[in-house]
Amino acid sequence: MLAPPAQAAETVRMAVLQMGTVAWEADVAKHHGFDTAEGIELIAKPYAGTQATMVALQGGDADVSVTDWIWVSRQRNEGRPYSFVPYSTSIGELMVPAGSGIASLADLEAKRLGIAGGALDKNWLLLRALARKELDIDLARRVDPLYGAPPLLNAQIEQGRLDGVITYWPFAARLSAKGYRSLIGAEEAVKRLGIEVKVPMIGYVFDEDWAKANPEAIRGYLRAVHKAKALLAESNAEWERIRPLMGVKDDATFVALREGYRAGIPRQWGDAERAGAAELFEILREMGGEKLVGKASRLAAGTFWDAQTD
């Protein structure tokens, strides 16, 4: 008697940055067969920039991408039902040269400050909110800003053309490996703004309708990447295996990226963290306005995916 044909694995297409941390995680999931063990085939589709990954998601060329829940909430309020599962609590840092006299936000007066991501960057908005709370000043009126892509800003500060740079954590890690120091990180800013829990800002994002139509695919995908994350949290050997993917030339940068990734792994996601996200939304809405969140006055219902992953 012939055995029944094997059931084809459900395909999950994941949009990733070519040199980004999500691509490393996807490689771990594929290399160890975590995807096939969960009944899916994970296909990592590389793109050159974050915007391109989101265009792929919105255009149907990818099933999952990674971005923040502010974007998800705005999409939902505008009738597009995306949903979010936490990926990382790491956001960014304000980095200055090791010998800089800048010791606090008050010392940024008239300084040339690089800001990755533009005027609506969440790291920048959080530091502006903190300066307003603690110093009663608007940093946007006190600094000389240069908005640009993270690699460009890293190059600018290394050439001595910037006094500081607010950038995403992987680029901050690269600077720390070269002796630059963190003045303040976004996580510390959030805490000083009165939110005590660690709120994952970045997450896996997907269309809720697709997930509901493919429940085994989304559950299998989330289990697979969580297994990859758990391995990266524990195994230095696994980091050595993926080192060629990381684009690092020295041990200090390698270690900074490894430890930065590990520090951002969400340890808890429950009611307290969701409440913290709602508080954080209010702060960001006040600072970024409609340009950031649209016309919404609160975090959209359904922003966070509620279905079980195991």
Chain segment 178-208, per-residue pLDDT in tens: 999 999 999 999 999 999 999 999 999 999 9
Question: Which pLDDT band, with edges at 50, 70 and 90, does 1 fall under?
Answer: very low
What is the average per-residue pLDDT within 37-52? 95
| pTM exceeding the 0.75 threshold for the entire prediction | yes
The two structure tokens encoding residue 185: 């990180």
Q: What is each CA distance from 230 to 23, 226, 235, 236, in whole angstroms?
A: 15, 6, 9, 12
Mean pLDDT of 258-262: 97
Q: Is the pLDDT of residue 308 over 90?
A: no
On the question of pLDDT at 3 being above 50, the answer is: no
3-state SS record for the chain: CCCCCCCCCEEEEEEEECCCHHHHHHHHHHHCCHHHHCCEEEEEEEECCHHHHHHHHHHCCCCEEEEEHHHHHHHHHCCCCEEEEEEECCCEEEEECCCCCCCCHHHHCCCEEEEECCCCCHHHHHHHHHHHHHHCCCHHHCCEEEEECHHHHHHHHHCCCCCEEEEEHHHHHHHHCCCCEEEEEHHHHHHHCCCCCCCCCEEEEEEHHHHHHCHHHHHHHHHHHHHHHHHHHHCHHHHHHHHHHHCCCCHHHHHHHHHHHHHCCCCCCCHHHHHHHHHHHHHHHHHHHHHHHCCCCCCCCCCECCCCCC
Instruction: Give per-residue pLDDT as tens, 80-132.
Output: 999 999 999 999 999 999 999 999 999 999 999 999 999 999 999 999 999 99
Higher pLDDT residue, 155 or 4? 155
